[in-house]
Amino acid sequence: MSTRPLLCQRWSSSLGQKPGATSVRFPGAIHSQFSNTLKFYQTPSPIDTYRTMSQDGDIVDADYTPESDAIALGLYENMLKVSIMDMIMFDAQRQGRLSFYMTGQGEEGTCVGSASALAAEDVLFCQYREAGVFVQRGFTFDDFMSQLFANVKDSGKGRNMPVHYGSKALNIHTISSPLATQLPQASGAAYALKMQRLTNPNIPPRVVACYFGEGAASEGDFHAALNIAATRSCPVIFICRNNGYAISTPTLEQYRGDGIASRGTGYGIDTIRVDGNDIWAVREVTKRARELALKDGGRPVLIEAMSYRISHHSTSDDSFAYRARVEVEDWKRRDNPITRLRKYLENKKVWDEEKETAARARIRKEVLKAFATAEKEKKPAMRTMFEDIYEELTPEIREQMKELKSVIERYPDEYDVSEFEGGKESLAP
Amino acid sequence: MRLHKAIPIPKGLLSPSPCSYSTKTKTRTRTRTKTKTPVQQHRFYSTHPPAARLNIPTDFSTTSILNHSAQSTLQNPELPPDIRNGTTKRMNLFQSINDALSLALAADESVILFGEDVAFGGVFRCSMGLAENFGTERVFNTPLSEQGIVGFGIGAAAEGMKAVAEIQFADYVYPAFDQLVNEAAKFRYRDGIEGRHSGGLTVRMPCGGVGHGALYHSQSPESLFTHIPGLRVIMPRSPVQAKGLLLSAIASNDPCVFMEPKALYRAAVEQVPTGSYYLPLSKAEILKEGSDLTIVSYGNPIYTCSAAIEKAEKDLGISIELIDLRTVYPWDKECVLKSVRKTGRCMVVHESMVNAGIGAEVAASIQEDKETFLRLEAPVMRVAGWSVHMALMFERFNIPDVARVYDTIKRTVEY
C-alpha cells in the first residue's frame, strides 16, 4: 500500500499485475484470488439430481406446475411404444430374423421426456440408444422396421446397421457407430443455426440437442465439443444418458470425478443433473435448457440424466457376464421411468390396469403389423451400394459397378440377387 | 501434443530469394570455381554443391511453370472468357489463397473460416485481413483441437454452411482422422435418400517439406486420404492453380482435403487473375506435351520434374510429357492412361513416402489397363520420399531432387 504513486502509473496498463492486487491478473484465469495457503482442490460436493416426482409418482417439487393429462398420456404412450418395440425386436434378433438390435429399457424417460421439450425445428444428433427420441418426434413403426430390415423403404438405403436411424423431415441426423463423433458436429451445427438466424431474423430461434452416453463422454470428441461450444457460444444442449455402464465397463472404471455433470462447469457451461426416471423432471429441465441455450445470442447447456441400463448393451452382449442378474431385476422393479409415470397417472385416476392391458395389446399389434410388412419388402437396388459416395458417380465407381454386374452375369449360380429390387439390372451404368 | 507449431517460417529460410539465383548458371559456376567452396552457415537449407549441374534450387522467378506475365496467365484455356479478358495481379501462393478465401467469403454468406490462429491472419498469413473484413463471427479462432475443428466443420456443413477449416500443419491432421474418414467421407452415404451431406466442408492444410520442418512440419499425408472414398484430395502447384482449385473445393458438394505445399507459400509468385474462377476438380493438366516418357506428379515436385525434364531432353534428345494430377483422388486416370499409351513409358514423382503412395496407385492402374500395358516399353518407375520419417538434417536426401528424377528418366528411356 506504500506504492500508491506507482499504482497510479500502472493503472493505464491492462497488462501485468497491479501492485498490491488481491486477485490474479494472468490472462489465463482472470477471476482467481491470490491465496497465501497451499491447498490442493478436490472434487466439490456432488451435484444434486433434480426430480419433480417421487418413485410413487407424487409431485415433490412445490414450484413445479404439472402438465395436462393429455400430455401425460401422450408421453406415457410413447414410452410404452419404445419399450414394446424393444422387446419384440430383441426377440426377433434372437430368432435370427434381424442382424442386430439395441434396446433402451430404462432410458425411455430421458429420451421421450427431453424430445418432448424441444421444438420440431430443433436439430438433433443421437448416439444409438434414443429410439424414444425418434418416437416422440413422429418416427413411425414402419420407419423403424424399414431401417431395421434394411429394405427398399429404408431411408438409409440399406447401408447402415440396424438402429442407425435418421430423418431429415424430423430434423434428426443419421446415427453413426463411432462414439462421440456427433458431439463436435452438434456444436458446429448449432453455430450454423445461430449464424443463419443472424443473417435472416425470420428464421425461428433453433437449438441443437445432442445425445450421448457416459462412456462416450470419455472420448476426445466430448472434450473438443464442449470446449468449442463454450468458446463459440453455440446454442447446443448436450444430453448425457448416464446409465451406469458402457458395455461391461462400470462408471467406476469410466471416470473418477462427479459423473459427467461436474465436467460441464469446468468448460464454463451451465450444467444440471436430473433423475432420468422422472420424465417430468427431464422435460422441465430440457425446456429450461432450451431457453438458456437461446439466451444472449446462444450458449451451450449440459444435462446429465441419471438412469440404469436395464437391457443388455446390445443383442451381441450378455450383460450377466459382468453384472448380477439380481441388480438388474432390482432396478427393473424398484424404479423405472415407465412405472413411475404409470403411478402418477393412476394417482390421478386417468389410467388403470384395464387401459394398460388394452394399450399394450394395441401397440404390440401395431409393431407386429409393421414388422411383417417390412420383412416382406424387397432389399434396395444393388446400385445404391455405389451411389452417394460423391455427389455424382465417378468414372472409377462406374467402372466397378460394371465389373460387378459382369461377374454376376458370368457366375449366375454364385449370387442370389433376386431379393434386391431390379436384380442385377440396377447395376447398368 | 506438440512442442512448437505456430511458427511462421521466416522468409529467408522458406526459399531462396529470387535474386540470389537469378544469375545465369555459367556465371555462377565460374565464380564458384574461383573462390573455393564458401562456408555458407546461414543458408545451408538451399545451398547446392559448387559443381552441381542438376541439383540447383528452383529459380521461381524464371521457371516456366509459373506465369510471369499477365498474358501467359490469361491464355489458359481453362479460364472462362470474362476472366481471360480481365486483369491479373502478382501474387504468391499464400496471397492467392487469401484472395480465394476473400472472394468466397464475399460471394456467399454461408462461408465461414476457422481454425487455430486464423483470426489474426494465420501463421502462414493465408487469412490475413479476413476477420477484419468479414467479421469475427465468420472468421474465427477455435480452441486447439483438430478433432474439434473438423467435427465442428462437418456439423456446420451438414446444416448448410460452407465450412472452410484450417489444420495448421498437415502433420497435425491425425487427431481429426476419425472425423474425416468415418464422418465427413461417409455422411452422404449413410444419410441415403435423406440427402444430407458434409460436402460444404473444405479442410485446408499446409503440407510438404520446407527445408527444416523435420518430423512434424514436413508431412504430406495425401495417400492416407486417397484411400477413403468420399473425400476429394487436392494439391495445387502454383498461385493460379491454388486459387482456382480452392474456389472449386469450397463450391464443391463433396468434402475436400485441400493441401497447400507450404514451401511455395512465398516462393511461387505469378500473375493471378483477380476475379473468381474455378478450375476443374479431378482433372489433371498436361503441363508440357512430349512423346517418349510421361511424368506424373503434383504439388511442389512439379518444379523439380520441370528442371529435370529440361536437362534430360537436352542431354538425351528425348521429349517428355509432364502431367500435374492436381486432384490426387478421385484422380484423372484417363488423362494419364492416354498419355502413357502414347509415350510407352511412365514415372511418378511425389514428395511423400513411396510405400503405398500415389505412385503405387498410378503404376498399378497403368499395368492393369490392358491397352496401356501392351504399350509399355519400360517398367513404371517411382521417385518419391524414402520409406522413412523426415529427419531434420537429411531432408534434401529424402525429397526427390532433380538428380534423382533425372536419373530415373535416364534409366527409364534407356531400359
Chain B within 8 Å of A359 (Cβ-Cβ)? Answer: no
Chain-centroid distance, C-alpha A419: 34
Q: Walk along chain B (415 residues) and give the pLDDT tens digit of each residue.
A: 444 444 444 443 444 333 333 333 333 434 444 445 545 445 445 578 999 999 999 999 999 999 999 999 999 999 999 999 999 999 999 999 999 999 999 999 999 999 999 999 999 999 999 999 999 999 999 999 999 999 999 999 999 999 999 999 999 999 999 999 999 999 999 999 999 999 999 999 999 999 999 999 999 999 999 999 999 999 999 999 999 999 999 999 999 999 999 999 999 999 999 999 999 999 999 999 999 999 999 999 999 999 999 999 999 999 999 999 999 999 999 999 999 999 999 999 999 999 999 999 999 999 999 999 999 999 999 999 999 999 999 999 999 999 999 999 999 999 9
Catalytic (active site) residue B217: yes
Residue A248 to chain B, least CA–CA distance (Å): 24
B24 backbone dihedrals φ, ψ, rounded to 5°: -70, 150
- B292/chain A closest Cα distance in angstroms: 27
Q: β-pairing, B285-288 with B320-324?
A: antiparallel
Q: Domain ranges for chain B, please list them.
A: 70-273, 285-414
Q: Which long-range contacts (CB under 8 A, 24 or more apart) does B64-71 make?
A: B64/B306, B65/B237, B65/B238, B65/B287, B65/B302, B65/B303, B65/B306, B66/B238, B66/B239, B66/B268, B66/B269, B66/B270, B67/B238, B67/B240, B67/B270, B67/B271, B68/B270, B68/B271, B69/B271, B70/B271
Which ranges in A240-391 belong to alpha helices (H)? 261-266, 279-294, 325-334, 337-347, 353-376
Q: What is the mean pLDDT of each run of 10 residues along chain A (429 residues)?
A: 41 57 79 90 89 96 96 98 96 94 94 98 97 98 98 97 98 98 98 96 97 96 98 98 91 93 97 97 98 97 94 88 86 88 97 98 98 97 98 97 98 97 94
Q: Please state, in angstroms and rounded to a whole number, the distance separating the CA atoms of residues B324 and B268.
A: 16
Instruction: Give phi and psi for B10, each to the nearest 5.
Output: -55, 145
For chain A, the residue count is 429
- Nearest CA among A232, A226, A181 for reference residue B151: A181
**A164 CB within 8 Å of a chain B CB:** yes
Find where cell 504513486 sits: A5
Distance, CA of A192 to CA of A187 (rounded, Å): 9
B33-51 burial, b if ≥16 CB within 10 A, otherwise e? Answer: eeeeeeeeeeeebbebeee
Q: What is the DSSP letter of A32?
A: P
Angle at B235 between CA B229 and CA B239, to 5 degrees: 150
Work out the burial of residue B317: count CB atoms within 10 Å of its CB; fewer than 13 is exposed, 13-18 middle, 19 or more buried: exposed
Catalytic residue among B48, B116, B166, B217: B217
CA end-to-end span of chain A, whole Å?
Answer: 85
Distance in angstroms (rounded) separating the CA atoms of residues A244 and A248: 10
Percentages of chain A per state (helix, strand, coil), in multiples of 5: 45, 10, 45
- CA angle, B396 then B397 then B401, to 5°: 70
- Which residues are CB-neighbours of A324 under 8 A, at least 6 positions away? none
Domain A69-376, CATH number (from 1.10.150.20, 3.30.70.20, 3.40.50.970, 3.30.70.860): 3.40.50.970
Instruction: Return the SS3 of B171.
Output: helix
Task: Please return the burial class of A347, using the count of CB atoms within 10 Å of its CB with bins 0-12, 13-18 and 19+.
Answer: middle
d(CA B199, CA B336): 27
Q: Which fold has domain B285-414?
A: Rossmann fold (3.40.50)
With beta carbons less than 8 A apart as the criterion, state whether A389 and A397 touch.
yes
In the set B116, B146, B222, B285, the catalytic residue is: B146
Distance CA B223, CA B263 (A): 19
Is A191–B153 a contact, with Cβ atoms under 8 angstroms apart? no
Q: How many angstroms separate the CA atoms of B413 and B346, rounded?
A: 9
- The pLDDT score that the predictor gives to residue B237 is 98
> Cα B199–B202–B204 angle (5° rounding)?
165
B146 catalytic, yes or no?
yes
**Which among A272, A165, A180, A170 has a CA at the least distance from the CA of A226?**
A180
Beta strand extents in B208-319 (DSSP E only): 232-234, 256-261, 269-273, 285-288, 293-297
Q: Where are the domains of chain A?
A: 69-376, 382-427
Q: Give the per-residue pLDDT at A16.
A: 56
B 153-212 residues with CB < 8 A to A = 153-161, 163, 175, 178-179, 182-183, 186, 188-197, 199
How far is CA B381 from its chain centroid? 21
Which pLDDT does position A17 carry in this prediction? Answer: 61
**Closest partner residue to B109 among A157, A199, A389, by Cβ?**
A199
Q: Which residue in A173, A188, A390 is closest to B153 by CB distance?
A: A188
Question: Which residues does chain B have within 8 Å of residue A266's beta carbon, measured at their own beta carbons?
Answer: none
- Predicted confidence at residue A329, as pLDDT, reads 85
In sign, the C-alpha dihedral spanning A413, A414, A418, A421 is: negative
Q: Which CATH superfamily is domain B70-273 in?
A: Thiamin diphosphate (ThDP)-binding fold, Pyr/PP domains (3.40.50.970)
ipTM of the complex: 0.94
Which of A152, A174, A387 should we substitute to test contact with B (largest number of B Cβ atoms within 10 Å)? A174
Residues shown for chain B = 415
Q: Please, what is the angle between helix A108-116 and helix A279-294, to 10°? A: 40
Distance from CA of B298 to the nearest CA of A (A): 20
First to last CA, chain B: 48
Residue B299 in contact with partner chain A when CB distance is under 8 A: no
